[in-house]
């Protein structure tokens, strides 16, 4: 067989298109991001573009497409417009027969200051990939370049994505998941760099408040060390903390190599409030293992088009909540008395919720999409937070394991799961999670009452 015949007999596979996004914000006070998608090497008669309906870590369909306006497409070589239509609430289709390069323009209204949405005003720009960019079905694994065009030369960019060589305004995500997992902060934020275990860490702070950045960094370093000790090192090259100081906001969203935090700007001097903030830091940081790399099978690959159901959020969130306080104790930030006071408060809180007799934890996890984030007058009677109950079930598991096995604890369950599933990013099933707990506990704990 000659080489030419061999080539002909191979099925033709289209070459990967080059995907380049440009994000401009020429009038930041208008709260509108101007996004341009440029594709090269396109080979199909139609181009499908889909906007995620949710972002990983926040289990609610948020319909990000509702903020899109002025969608248009054209051929960048001839300048001629290309036809397009909408096939669903978050699905656009562009006619691309006979063209290899495509330019798509659209605007995204960004006026919601939370960790899982976009915010643009005269002082800064912040966005989440899932709330700003389309994915191309079939090409989710293609690399994506993102060029940021700030409105003023003094605005800087903070993100965990690496820059394209020689261009400090263009960043590269190896695939769409990575882009959706890498928020951007653009502006004149305070920027601090520090090392922990020889790895570079950054802290970007937007807004003014009563925090002492040096104290915050010192405490954060202790938290990072305590968590790294549990899991045996830090599984990233660089990590970024993005902090928004807001009026009364509160929230955190975990990512693989960064986290976004939103906290009241005057919540750093009062010891109790400051402790709550450090718990938030410890919580989001803990997630870089538990849920970002060590995750349930159902979250192994994300479906951005709809709800992703799992019964294990109690472990992803509840166990992380248990450790966010425990880590402050181990880091020497919290005294034993303070740790016990915090547990005591949470036990009282759980006992005051009648819904704990109605909704099991697995159901609370599964129905997060329609219940936890959509509270109403009946919520306390019919449901229980998988954060709160999951935290206290983790406490009970830890106590039970320690009681029966003096040299073991819940730490060993996490380490076993990390080695078995997390390091290789293999999703675990609910029976596998149960098995790992039983293996360390030396008994089947699923039926203990
Ligand atoms: Zn969490």
Instruction: Render pLDDT for 114-141 as a digit per residue (tens, 0 to 9).
Output: 999 999 999 999 999 999 999 999 999 9
pLDDT at position 166: 82
Q: 82 C-alpha vs ligand 1 centroid, how far in Å?
A: 43
Q: 202 C-alpha vs ligand 1 centroid, how far in Å?
A: 21
pLDDT at position 434: 96
Sheet with 68-74: list strands edge to edge. Answer: 68-74, 102-109, 32-40, 18-24, 144-149, 167-173, 163-164
Give the separation between CA 323 and CA 385, rounded to whole angstroms.
17
Q: 207 C-alpha vs ligand 1 centroid, how far in Å?
A: 24
Could you tell me which of 245, 174, 201, 228 has the C-alpha nearest to residue 414? 228
Mean pLDDT of 64-73: 98
Q: Is the dihedral of CA 118, 385, 409, 226 positive or negative?
A: positive
Q: 406 C-alpha vs ligand 1 centroid, how far in Å?
A: 29
pLDDT at position 347: 98
pLDDT at position 319: 98
Q: What is the pTM of this model?
A: 0.95
Q: 139 C-alpha vs ligand 1 centroid, how far in Å?
A: 29
pLDDT at position 14: 67
pLDDT at position 307: 98
Q: 20 C-alpha vs ligand 1 centroid, how far in Å?
A: 32
Q: What is the radius of gyration, based on Cα positions, of the chain? A: 24
Give yes or no for residue 169 having a pLDDT over 60: yes
Mean pLDDT of 80-88: 98
Q: 265 C-alpha vs ligand 1 centroid, how far in Å?
A: 21
Residue 447 confidence class, pLDDT cut points 50, 70, 90: confident
Q: 91 C-alpha vs ligand 1 centroid, how far in Å?
A: 30
Q: 124 C-alpha vs ligand 1 centroid, how far in Å?
A: 26
Q: 313 C-alpha vs ligand 1 centroid, how far in Å?
A: 9
How do residues 329-361 score in pLDDT, each as one tens digit? 999 999 999 999 999 999 999 999 999 999 999
pLDDT at position 12: 57
Q: 261 C-alpha vs ligand 1 centroid, how far in Å?
A: 11
Give yes or no for residue 6 having a pLDDT over 60: no
Q: 201 C-alpha vs ligand 1 centroid, how far in Å?
A: 20
Q: What is the mean pLDDT of the chain?
A: 96
Which residues does 328 contact at the CB level (< 8 Å), separation at least 6?
A: 223, 275, 278, 279, 282, 334, 339
Place of tokens 């006026």: 111
Q: 244 C-alpha vs ligand 1 centroid, how far in Å?
A: 17
Q: 160 C-alpha vs ligand 1 centroid, how far in Å?
A: 19
Residue 11 confidence class, pLDDT cut points 50, 70, 90: low
How do residues 90-102 score in pLDDT, each as one tens digit? 999 999 999 999 9
And the tokens for 6? 């061999």
pLDDT at position 446: 82
And the tokens for 154? 């003094």
Q: 320 C-alpha vs ligand 1 centroid, how far in Å?
A: 6
**Which helix (H) or strand (E) covers residue 345, if one does?**
helix 336-351
Mean pLDDT of 176-199: 98
Give yes or no for residue 426 having a pLDDT over 70: yes
Q: 321 C-alpha vs ligand 1 centroid, how far in Å?
A: 7
Q: 314 C-alpha vs ligand 1 centroid, how far in Å?
A: 10
Q: 390 C-alpha vs ligand 1 centroid, how far in Å?
A: 11
Q: 302 C-alpha vs ligand 1 centroid, how far in Å?
A: 17
Give yes or no for residue 318 having a pLDDT over 80: yes
Q: 284 C-alpha vs ligand 1 centroid, how far in Å?
A: 6
Q: 312 C-alpha vs ligand 1 centroid, how far in Å?
A: 13
Mean pLDDT of 363-386: 96
pLDDT at position 220: 98
Please give the angle made by the CA atoms of 180, 183 and 184, to the nearest 5 degrees.
130
pLDDT at position 4: 42
Give the separation between CA 107 and CA 26, rounded to whole angstroms.
12
pLDDT at position 444: 92
Q: 287 C-alpha vs ligand 1 centroid, how far in Å?
A: 7
Q: 266 C-alpha vs ligand 1 centroid, how far in Å?
A: 23
Q: Domains in the chain, start-ordered, CATH in brackets? A: 18-186 (2.60.40.3650), 189-284 (1.10.390.10), 289-449 (1.10.390.10)
By the CB criterion, residues less than 5 angstroms from ion ligand 1 are 317
Strands 119-121 and 124-127 turn out to be: antiparallel
Q: 104 C-alpha vs ligand 1 centroid, how far in Å?
A: 35
pLDDT at position 5: 42
How do residues 261-311 score in pLDDT, each as one tens digit? 999 999 999 999 999 999 999 999 999 999 999 999 999 999 999 999 999
Q: Is the dihedral of CA 282, 284, 285, 291 positive or negative?
A: positive
Give the separation between CA 203 and CA 252, rounded to whole angstroms.
14
Q: 251 C-alpha vs ligand 1 centroid, how far in Å?
A: 9
pLDDT at position 147: 98
Q: 74 C-alpha vs ligand 1 centroid, how far in Å?
A: 42
Mean pLDDT of 174-190: 98
Q: How many helices (H) and strands (E) does the chain have?
A: 12, 19
């Amino acid at each position: 067989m000659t080489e030419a015949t061999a080539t002909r007999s191979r099925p033709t596979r289209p070459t990967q298109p080059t995907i380049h996004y440009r994000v401009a914000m020429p009038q930041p006070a208008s709260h509108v991001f101007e996004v341009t998608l440029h594709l090269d090497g396109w080979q199909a008669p139609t181009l499908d573009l889909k906007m995620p309906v949710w972002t990983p870590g926040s289990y609610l369909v948020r319909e990000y497409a509702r903020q899109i306006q002025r969608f248009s497409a054209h051929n960048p070589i001839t300048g001629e417009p290309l036809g397009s239509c909408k096939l669903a609430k978050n699905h656009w289709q562009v006619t691309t027969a006979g063209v290899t390069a495509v330019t798509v323009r659209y605007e995204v209204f960004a006026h919601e200051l939370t960790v899982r949405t976009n915010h643009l005003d005269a002082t800064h720009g912040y966005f989440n990939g899932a709330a700003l960019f389309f994915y191309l079905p079939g090409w989710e694994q293609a690399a994506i370049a993102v060029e940021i065009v700030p409105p003023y030369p003094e605005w800087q960019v903070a993100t965990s994505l690496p820059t394209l060589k020689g261009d400090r305004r263009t960043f590269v995500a190896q695939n769409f998941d990575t882009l959706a997992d890498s928020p951007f902060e653009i502006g004149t934020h305070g920027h601090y760099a520090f090392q922990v275990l020889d790895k570079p860490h950054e802290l970007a702070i937007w807004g003014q408040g009563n925090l002492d950045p040096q104290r915050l960094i010192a405490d954060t370093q202790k938290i990072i060390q305590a968590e790294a000790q549990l899991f045996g090192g830090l599984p990233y090259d660089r990590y970024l903390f993005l902090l928004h100081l807001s009026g009364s906001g509160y929230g955190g969203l975990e990512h693989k190599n960064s986290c976004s935090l939103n906290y009241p700007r005057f919540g750093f001097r009062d010891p109790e409030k400051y402790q709550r903030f450090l718990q938030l830091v410890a919580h989001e940081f803990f997630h870089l293992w538990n849920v970002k790399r060590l995750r349930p099978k159902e979250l192994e690959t994300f479906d951005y088009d709809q709800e992703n159901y799992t019964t294990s959020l109690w472990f992803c969130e509840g166990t992380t909540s248990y450790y966010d306080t425990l880590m402050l104790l181990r880091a020497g930030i919290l005294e034993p008395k303070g740790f016990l006071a915090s547990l005591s408060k949470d036990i009282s809180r759980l006992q005051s919720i009648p819904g704990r007799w109605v909704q099991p934890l697995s159901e609370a996890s599964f129905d997060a999409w329609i219940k936890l984030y959509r509270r109403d007058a009946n919520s306390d009677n019919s449901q229980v937070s998988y954060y709160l109950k999951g935290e206290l079930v983790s406490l009970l598991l830890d106590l039970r394991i320690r009681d029966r096995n003096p040299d073991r604890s819940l730490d060993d369950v996490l380490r076993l799961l990390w080695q078995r599933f997390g390091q290789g990013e293999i999703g675990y099933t609910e029976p596998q999670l149960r098995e790992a707990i039983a293996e360390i506990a030396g008994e089947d704990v699923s039926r203990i009452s």
